[in-house]
């Protein structure tokens, strides 16, 4: 099996982000990709570099207005006299259905949900190649490969159709889903990141052809706060096609497994042709995010259970930050998944 990654993705390296009113060092660093690539190879996956898929996979799930913003904003931002080297919003609109501003400062506030998605000099090139990795892995699976792992960095599940947030810019899991829709009438997304995939939910909330399932820390006091609650079930034609499983902070292996079993039952009821797993590793007990208490062996068990779903699967990397267990967590997940996955 393959791990899809381009070293160009490491060009995204904003040095800081805003959290709790404090400017801190950005934890979403290029070294994450190095460790995850080594861990995937340790699990026996072959590294391949994705082809250039152009903008079509991104534009299938994001607005042209937003893509134009992402691809030009850093250059425009640098023209601001006395401005910072990185794009960080300082103002946000109280509504999003009014006139579209021309100002770079105003557009940053419109298209960036928070201070945790700064844009630096190499960001767009890396964002584009991260989406290419997801598209390539999905294309492999669409054409008959049983499963593939997209080492998408920067991650994507907090990105809405026209808004970045939480270290995410292009929704790589969404890119993979839409690519798989080229063959399958129904595709399911299972998000196991410790944070709710609010961008993914928002992207598919009204669609009955995409089932979105997320297991995450209860957002009542955890990012992204405003999304991810159990009563969010979809809307319009998509009512009943969104399933959130918020769990208490500190959830460990044993408490996590019943939620994963519930997710499996819902996915089986949907009868999808393929599955996308938004693979966050930040549920780890020693991850800096401090949400859950999943062990390295627990990630192996989670991978094994998901592999038993028996679906063509694209694994798309989401969170998981620098700590001693990061690489081992991915290796264990991939080994557990690969050992149990059958079509």
CB atoms within 10 A of CB 343: 9
Rg (CA), the chain: 18
Phi and psi of 19, rounded to 5°? -140, 130
Q: β-strand 210-217 against 46-48: which pairing, if any?
A: unpaired
Q: Is-catalytic flag, 158?
A: yes
Helix (H, G, I), strand (E, B) or coil at 158: coil
Written as one string, the DSSP assignment of 95-146 is -SSSPPP--HHHHHHHHB-SSS--B-TTHHHHHHHHHHHHHHHHHHHHTT-S
Is the omega angle on the peptide bond into residue 224 within 30 degrees of 0, that is, cis? yes
Report phi then psi at 9, rounded to 5.
-65, -20
Within 10 Å of residue 275's Cβ, how many Cβ atoms?
A: 26
CA distance 141 to 331: 21
Q: Rounded to whole angstroms, how far apart are CA atoms 312 and 41?
A: 21
Catalytic residue among 74, 157, 158, 195: 158
Q: The dihedral of CA 145, 196, 131, 178: what is its sign?
A: positive
Q: In the beta sheet, which residues pair with residue 17?
A: 24
Nearest-angstrom CA–CA distance, 60 and 291: 32
State the catalytic residues: 158
């Amino acid at each position: 099996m393959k791990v899809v990654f381009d070293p160009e993705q490491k060009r995204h390296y904003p040095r800081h982000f805003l959290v709790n009113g404090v400017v801190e060092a950005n934890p979403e660093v290029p070294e994450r990709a190095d460790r995850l690539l080594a861990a995937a190879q340790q699990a026996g996956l072959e590294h391949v570099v994705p082809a250039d898929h152009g903008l079509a996979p991104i534009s299938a799930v994001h607005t042209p207005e937003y893509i134009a913003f992402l691809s030009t904003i850093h250059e425009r931002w640098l023209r601001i006299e006395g401005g910072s080297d990185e794009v960080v919003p300082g103002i946000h609109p109280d509504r999003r259905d009014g006139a579209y501003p021309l100002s770079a400062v105003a557009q940053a506030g419109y298209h960036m949900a928070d201070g945790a998605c700064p844009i630096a000099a190499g960001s767009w090139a890396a964002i584009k190649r991260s989406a290419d990795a997801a598209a390539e892995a999905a294309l492999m699976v669409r054409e008959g490969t049983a499963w593939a792992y997209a080492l998408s960095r920067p991650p994507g599940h907090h990105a809405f159709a026209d808004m970045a947030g939480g270290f995410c810019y292009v929704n790589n899991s969404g890119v993979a889903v839409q690519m798989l829709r080229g063959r399958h009438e129904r595709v399911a997304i299972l998000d196991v990141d410790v944070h709710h995939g609010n961008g993914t939910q928002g992207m598919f909330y009204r669609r009955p052809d995409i089932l979105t399932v997320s297991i995450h820390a209860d957002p009542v006091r955890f990012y992204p706060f405003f999304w991810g609650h159990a009563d969010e079930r979809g809307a319009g034609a998509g009512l009943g096609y969104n399933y959130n499983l918020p769990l208490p902070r500190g959830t460990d292996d044993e408490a996590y497994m019943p939620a994963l079993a519930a997710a499996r039952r819902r996915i089986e009821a949907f009868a999808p042709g393929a599955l996308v797993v938004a693979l966050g590793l930040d549920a780890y007990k020693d991850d800096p995010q401090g949400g859950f208490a999943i062990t390295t062996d627990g990630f192996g068990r989670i991978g094994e259970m998901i592999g038993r779903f028996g679906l063509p699967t694209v694994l798309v990397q989401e969170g998981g930050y620098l700590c001693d267990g990061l690489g081992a967590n991915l290796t264990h997940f991939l080994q557990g998944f690969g050992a149990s996955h059958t079509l």
